[in-house]
Chain A
Amino acid sequence: YVAFPQARKASLASFLEKRKQRAMNA
C-alpha cells in the first residue's frame, strides 16, 4: 500500500470516515 496514489488515499479516508459514522449511528 506504500504507493497508494493520492486520489485513492483521499477517497479511502472519506470512505472509512463515513463507515465509522454509519457504524456509530446503527
Chain B
Amino acid sequence: ASTADPTKTHHHMISSTSSQLFNQETLQQRLQQLIEGARESWTYAIFWQSSYDYSGASLLGWGDGYYKGDADKAKSKLKTASAAEQEHRKKVLRELNSLISGSASAPDDAVDEEVTDTEWFFLVSMTQSFFVNSGGLPGQAFFSNSPVWVCGPERLANSGCERARQGHVFGLQTMVCIPSANGVVELGSTEVIAQSSDLMNKVRFLFNFN
C-alpha cells in the first residue's frame, strides 16, 4: 500500500491500494478512448478510484475524468444558472486557472466563456467522494460488482441517489456506472442512451488493469 502524504491527499483519503497501478496519463487516455470512439454521444467519463478512510471504510474518490462536452452545445447551456450563478462559476474557474497556470500568467479568454451546467457538474465532481455502502450509483455499482444504468429524466430524478438527482438538475439524461478493477467508471450524457453490452465490454477491456 502507498504511504499517506498529508500534503498530497484529500482529507479522509489516506491510502490507495491501486495508485501505483494507475498512471494519470493512461487513465486520461483510456477515458478519452472510451467516449471519443463511442457511437453514442457521452458528455463525460470519470474514473472513481477505490480507497479507504481512517476507519477502514471503503470509499470511492476522484481518480481522473475526461470531459468531452456536447456536440450540440445548446444542450448543456445554462438551464439552471442565473447571472449571479454564472458569475460565481466564472470566478471559480478563474481561480482554478491561476492555480494551474500560475497567477502571473496572462488572463485567458477561454476562462471567461460561459461555464455550462455539465461543465460545472464535472468540475464539482472533482471534490466528491462516496462511501461504497451509501446507496449512491457509483457505490452501488462497486458494492454489487454490477453495472448501474439509469436513463430518462424521471428515473434520474427518482433514483434515490443524490449524485443522479444533481446530474438530472444539470441536464443529464443518462448516467451509467460500471465497476472495474479498483474502481468504477461513470459516464454521463445529455441524451437518452439505451443500455449496451458493447460499452460494458469496452470498460472491462480498458479498465481491468490487473
Residues of A within 8 A of B (CB): 1, 3-16, 18-20, 22-24
The answer to whether A13 and B100 touch across the interface, beta carbons within 8 angstroms, is yes
The answer to whether A1 and B95 touch across the interface, beta carbons within 8 angstroms, is yes
**In the complex, chain A residues whose CB is within 8 Å of the CB of B63:** 7
Interface segment out of the listed B52-60, B64-72, B183-191: B64-72
Interface residues on B, range: 20 to 34
Known contacts A19-B110, A19-B119, A20-B108; is-contact A6 B8 (Cβ 8 Å): yes
**In the complex, chain B residues whose CB is within 8 Å of the CB of A10:** 24, 28, 64
The answer to whether A20 and B110 touch across the interface, beta carbons within 8 angstroms, is yes
> Is B198 located at the chain interface by the 8 A CB criterion?
no
> Is B121 located at the chain interface by the 8 A CB criterion?
no
**9 new A-B pairs (CB below 8 Å) besides A9-B99, A15-B65, A23-B110?**
A7-B63, A8-B10, A8-B127, A10-B24, A10-B28, A11-B126, A12-B96, A16-B97, A19-B67
> Is B38 located at the chain interface by the 8 A CB criterion?
no
> How many interface contacts (CB-CB < 8 Å) are there between A and B?
63
**In the complex, chain B residues whose CB is within 8 Å of the CB of A12:** 96, 99-100, 123, 126
B99's closest neighbor in chain A, by CB? Answer: A1
Tell me, in angstroms, the Cα distance from A24 to B126 when the chains sit together: 25
Contacts A/B (CB < 8 Å), 13 sampled: A1-B95, A1-B99, A7-B63, A11-B24, A11-B28, A11-B62, A12-B123, A14-B28, A16-B97, A16-B100, A18-B67, A23-B109, A23-B113
The answer to whether B110 and A15 touch across the interface, beta carbons within 8 angstroms, is no
A21's closest neighbor in chain B, by CB? Answer: B110
The answer to whether B10 and A5 touch across the interface, beta carbons within 8 angstroms, is yes
Interfacial residues of chain B within 115-144, with CB under 8 A of chain A in the complex: 119, 122-123, 126-127
> Is B201 located at the chain interface by the 8 A CB criterion?
no
The answer to whether A1 and B96 touch across the interface, beta carbons within 8 angstroms, is yes
Interfacial residues of chain B within 1-59, with CB under 8 A of chain A in the complex: 7-10, 13, 24, 28
Known contacts A13-B100, A16-B96, A16-B97; is-contact A8 B62 (Cβ 8 Å): yes
